[in-house]
Amino acid sequence: MNEIFYKLTVSHFLILAAVVFAIGTVGVLMRRNALIVMMSIELMLNAANLTILAFARYHGGAAGLEGHALAFIVIAVAAAEAAVGLAIVVAVFRTRRHADIDRLTLLKH
């Protein structure tokens, strides 16, 4: 039982990724500031990347390197998402003087 503390397996990384993903989910659901929500989304993407890389390390070989390529593409898409999302936040703030997502209810009605 004690060996989970000093014997690393793939489960350690997967559980850590799950915890980080859960924290990011909590941030997306609980916070009202749009920037914090976007940072929580980045956290969730990073948790997914950590999962990909842990499995790539576990599998190894050429298939593992394909996992690295996938993680690279995830990072690039996250950069694009951050650019577009921040532009949306700036546009919303410019027209409404706040970035509170609970008050952005224009599409609700």
Applying CB under 8 A, among 41, 48, 80, 108 the residue interacting with another protein is: 80
Burial 48-65 (b: 16+ CB within 10 A, else e): bbbbbbbbbeeeeeeeee
| Residues 10 to 69 in contact with another protein, rule: CB under 8 A | 10, 12-13, 16, 19-20, 23-24, 26-27, 30-31, 33, 35-36, 38-40, 42-43, 46, 49-50, 53-54, 56-66, 68-69
Least Cβ distance, residue 65 to another protein (angstroms)? 4
Buried b (16+ CB within 10 A) or exposed e, 77-102: ebeeeeeebeeebeebeeeeeebebe
Minimum separation from the CB atom of position 14 to another protein (A): 9
Question: What is the number of alpha carbons within 13 Å of residue 16 lying toward its C-beta?
Answer: 13
Kindly tell me which of 42 and 101 has the beta carbon lying closer to another protein: 42
